[in-house]
């Protein structure tokens, strides 16, 4: 249950959540030397925390207690975030409150230790290829302008075709993508770069978006981002999540469809198609192959279903 903070007469201009976040961003950029991509990813995670605090009517860091963070964890899990995502978001706000503590504004860090939330090994849910097709086709059935339809089709096509994280998608610049060789330079976790590949369907969708839609979204000729919002700014993670929710509902797909489910589906379909595990690891940008191996269990689960359905002696 969400709990509201008890407001004192403390000057919230100095202890305000967003004011201190801006100071923290300057610190991690200028002192810690974090990249703009990493800072943008941190900001996306922090935005989720601010949403929760707004719901809880909390405006000052001095009103964030340990129970507030516990409520936040429960809120994230209730809203379908994976434990790995929750751990990452906690890591971001832990660093933020560590900075606030160093400034003498609070007396203790309300965020629990790193080992507080143990990552689960729950098998990811995946979409089959027909469900992915239904999701993409549902775009045309929604009450959305043709410009945004073209953008969103291109966005979903490359998410699935290249197996990208949603943060990787929003960080793609025009100069990162090569439609002739069907490659894109992706900046992943820890600002590590890799080459990802995509198929002909994604090429056609991106070409249509670039020629027919993006010019109508561009208000600044110096804008580098590939995918733009209606205001001509780099598209946000939240916007993409919202679009997918809209289209999955229109397609009548079961369960919650989020950007990472397309990445799960990409990995599983690659393995089912015979791709080597090490290749899939490289394509996903996993530093540890054990992270990729979870998809072999998903793939094996589908193989088991096929076996039970098809083998004459496997049926009861």
Whether 216 sits among the annotated catalytic residues: the reply is no
Same domain, 150 and 109: no
Same domain, 112 and 152: no
Same domain, 245 and 211: yes
DSSP state of 31: T
pLDDT digits (tens, 9 = 90+) for 97-148: 999 999 999 999 999 776 555 455 555 678 999 999 999 999 999 999 999 9
Domain boundary among 61, 83, 116: 116
Torsion sign, CA atoms 40, 122, 244, 303: positive
- Asked if residue 124 belongs to a domain, the reply is no
Query: How would residue 78 be classed by pLDDT, with cut points 50, 70 and 90?
Result: confident
Whether 165 sits among the annotated catalytic residues: the reply is yes
Same domain, 288 and 165: yes
63, 151, 261, 263: which one is catalytic?
263
- Asked if residue 123 belongs to a domain, the reply is no
- Asked if residue 26 belongs to a domain, the reply is yes
Number of domains in the chain: 2
Same domain, 46 and 174: no
Run of H or E including 195 = strand 193-197
50, 83, 189, 216: which one is catalytic?
189
Tokens linked to 260: 């990472």
Cα separation, 173 vs 234, in Å, equals 9
Domain boundary among 85, 116, 147: 116
Tokens linked to 254: 């079961």
pLDDT value of residue 289: 75
Q: What are phi and psi of 197, to 5 degrees?
A: -115, 155
- Asked if residue 5 belongs to a domain, the reply is no
Same domain, 87 and 137: no
Same domain, 152 and 97: no
Query: How would residue 3 be classed by pLDDT, with cut points 50, 70 and 90?
Result: very low
SS3 letters across 97-140 = HHHHHHCCCCCCCCCCCHHHCCCCCCCCCCCCHHHHHHHHHHHH
Same domain, 169 and 73: no
- Asked if residue 1 belongs to a domain, the reply is no
- Asked if residue 28 belongs to a domain, the reply is yes
Whether 3 sits among the annotated catalytic residues: the reply is no
Same domain, 163 and 261: yes
pLDDT digits (tens, 9 = 90+) for 210-259: 999 999 999 988 999 999 999 999 999 989 999 999 999 999 998 888 89
CATH code for the domain in which residue 279 is found:
1.10.443.10
Among 51, 123, 114, which Cα is nearest to 87's? 114
Q: In what order do the strands lie in the sheet with 177-178?
A: 177-178, 183-187, 193-197
- Mean pLDDT of the residues in the chain: 85
Same domain, 39 and 105: yes
63, 153, 243, 260: which one is catalytic?
260
- Asked if residue 3 belongs to a domain, the reply is no
CATH code for the domain in which residue 68 is found:
1.10.150.130
Same domain, 201 and 295: yes
Burial class (CB in 10 A: 0-12, 13-18, 19+), 11: exposed
The domain in which residue 45 lies consists of 12-116
Cα separation, 82 vs 303, in Å, equals 25
Whether 309 sits among the annotated catalytic residues: the reply is no
Same domain, 150 and 242: yes
pLDDT digits (tens, 9 = 90+) for 27-45: 999 998 888 888 998 999 9
Whether 269 sits among the annotated catalytic residues: the reply is no
- Asked if residue 285 belongs to a domain, the reply is yes
Domain boundary among 65, 94, 116: 116
């Amino acid at each position: 249950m969400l709990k509201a903070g008890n407001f004192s007469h403390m000057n919230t201009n100095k202890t305000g959540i967003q004011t201190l976040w801006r100071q923290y961003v300057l610190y991690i950029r200028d002192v810690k030397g974090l990249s703009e991509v990493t800072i943008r990813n941190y900001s996306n995670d922090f935005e989720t925390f601010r949403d929760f605090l707004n719901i809880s009517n909390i405006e000052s860091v001095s009103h964030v207690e340990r129970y507030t963070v516990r409520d936040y964890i429960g809120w994230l899990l209730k809203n379908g975030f994976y434990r790995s995502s929750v751990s990452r978001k906690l890591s971001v706000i832990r660093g933020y409150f560590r900075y606030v503590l160093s400034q003498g504004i609070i007396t203790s860090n309300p965020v629990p230790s790193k080992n507080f939330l143990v990552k689960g090994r729950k098998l990811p849910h995946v979409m089959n290829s027909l469900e992915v097709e239904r999701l993409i086709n549902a775009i045309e059935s929604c009450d959305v302008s043709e410009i945004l339809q073209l953008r969103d089709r291109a966005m979903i096509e490359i998410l699935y075709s290249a197996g990208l994280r949603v943060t990787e998608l929003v960080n793609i610049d025009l100069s990162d993508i090569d439609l002739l060789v069907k490659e894109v330079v992706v900046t992943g976790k820890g600002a590590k770069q890799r080459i990802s590949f995509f198929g002909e369907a994604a090429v056609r969708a991106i070409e249509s978006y670039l020629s027919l839609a993006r010019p109508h979204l561009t208000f600044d000729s110096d804008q580098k981002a590939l995918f733009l919002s209606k205001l001509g700014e780099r598209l946000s993670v939240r916007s993409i999540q919202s679009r997918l929710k809209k289209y999955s509902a229109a397609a009548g797909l079961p369960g919650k469809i989020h950007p990472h489910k397309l990445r799960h589906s990409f990995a599983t379909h690659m393995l089912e198609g015979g791709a080597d595990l090490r290749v899939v690891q490289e394509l996903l940008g996993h530093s540890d192959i054990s992270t990729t191996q979870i998809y072999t269990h998903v793939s094996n689960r589908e193989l088991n279903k096929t076996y039970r359905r098809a083998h004459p002696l496997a049926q009861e």
